[in-house]
Chain A
């Protein structure tokens, strides 16, 4: 069982553990099979990641960098990195934000 980010959920995946909101209310029980509808519902509830039976943990940033050519990724990273010079690039939140910026720049150039 591993944590999967909601964006990477697909129909047919099986929920490995109960999903509860902050107050402990049950939103979706373990064993539920995902379909478009309950993925949508989880999203409106603000759920970010869930435990999926038989899956591996989504590592942070794994999904965002996989669609882009590594050479291009490095070039954009080099361009935007100076903006982040006063931040701690080892911090998981900053890492994620830098990735998001790089992806935004990549999309912007694509369109």
Chain B
């Protein structure tokens, strides 16, 4: 093989800047962040921004009325949703919805997008359920982090399809974990790519760090518990075979994360039982066409 046969490997900075020029967060998300962070803005201001995007508004309302929240009375307007669910929470949900939309057009030949989002959304719901079990506040950012944890893999396979194919083949031949091969082939993993991209998009660190560290939870400095939720949720969904993210094996569990979450092993089936009724509907709301 001559040197020209080796497909181009981008360094992390180059990959991110290239990705950033192709995929940008919709303006509506920035507007939403602005009004939510503005000390004098009201529920009406927030409602007005969301209602500008009918697709986003419709998905948020469907989510608010889904088994994920399990409210008895119908939430039929965005201002009701903002009041009941909370504006910060709505912002995290809007982020998840927007990013899924951005990556909707990724070419399907290397990654099956249906099973990819199945795995991602299941991971989001599971991480959220773990957080609820631990009585954490503001669980929607953990939900968003779970949903977005593997977006770096979409970036890698879109930007470097040849290398991605080689990594998949090597994973099968050597029985290796795909994310270890990413380090070997590229010098970084999909987790780092996802974290960096979210950082570039100025997404809060409470979401970006769990994404960046979901395979190395010990490296999370500011949000180790949030990271541990995503780390364990990924392992749970992989173990149970819900969806697929290209990774062939269940990733190893970091003992420190398990201890940090501090639940009995018998809680795992209970949590999955809690998650399962929410899966199908959430996947169809977030993954389907608006």
A positions within 8 Å CB-CB of B: 5-7, 21-22, 46, 48-49, 58, 60, 64, 82-88, 91-98, 100-101, 104
Query: When the two chains form their complex, are residues A98 and B239 in contact, meaning their CB atoms are under 8 A apart?
Result: yes
| Interface-central residue, B133, B251, B264, by most chain A CB under 10 Å | B264
Complexed CA–CA distance, A99 and B194 (Å): 32
Query: When the two chains form their complex, are residues A86 and B269 in contact, meaning their CB atoms are under 8 A apart?
Result: no
Query: When the two chains form their complex, are residues B241 and A97 in contact, meaning their CB atoms are under 8 A apart?
Result: no
Query: When the two chains form their complex, are residues A48 and B266 in contact, meaning their CB atoms are under 8 A apart?
Result: yes
Query: When the two chains form their complex, are residues B240 and A96 in contact, meaning their CB atoms are under 8 A apart?
Result: no
Task: Note all chain B residues with C-beta closer than 8 A to A82.
Answer: 175, 249
Contact of A91 among B134, B253, B264 (CB under 8 A): B253
Query: When the two chains form their complex, are residues A85 and B249 in contact, meaning their CB atoms are under 8 A apart?
Result: yes
Query: When the two chains form their complex, are residues A83 and B269 in contact, meaning their CB atoms are under 8 A apart?
Result: no
Query: When the two chains form their complex, are residues A95 and B265 in contact, meaning their CB atoms are under 8 A apart?
Result: yes
Interface residues as binary, B257-272 with A (CB distance below 8 Å gives 1, 0 otherwise) = 0100001111111101
Q: How far is the CB of A100 from chain B (nearest CB, A)?
A: 6
Q: A86-B250, A88-B252 are in contact. Are A60 and B239 (CB under 8 A)?
A: no
30 CB-based A-B contacts, threshold 8 Å = A5-B266, A6-B270, A7-B270, A21-B135, A22-B134, A22-B135, A46-B133, A46-B135, A48-B270, A49-B266, A58-B266, A83-B248, A84-B239, A86-B251, A87-B235, A91-B253, A91-B255, A91-B258, A92-B265, A93-B253, A93-B265, A93-B268, A94-B250, A96-B265, A96-B269, A97-B240, A97-B250, A100-B268, A100-B272, A101-B241
Query: When the two chains form their complex, are residues A86 and B177 in contact, meaning their CB atoms are under 8 A apart?
Result: yes
B positions within 8 Å CB-CB of A: 132-135, 175, 177, 232, 235-236, 238-241, 248-253, 255, 258, 263-270, 272
Total residue contacts A-B, CB cutoff 8 A: 81
Complexed CA–CA distance, A48 and B134 (Å): 12
Q: How far is the CB of B83 from chain A (nearest CB, A)?
A: 23
Q: A22-B135, A64-B269, A97-B235 are in contact. Are A83 and B250 (CB under 8 A)?
A: yes
Q: A60-B265, A64-B269 are in contact. Are A86 and B235 (CB under 8 A)?
A: no
Task: Note all chain A residues with C-beta closer than 8 A to B263.
Answer: 48
Complexed CA–CA distance, A68 and B9 (Å): 49
Complexed CA–CA distance, A46 and B272 (Å): 12
Task: Note all chain B residues with C-beta closer than 8 A to A7.
Answer: 269-270
Contact of B264 among A48, A100, A101 (CB under 8 A): A48
Complexed CA–CA distance, A64 and B255 (Å): 24
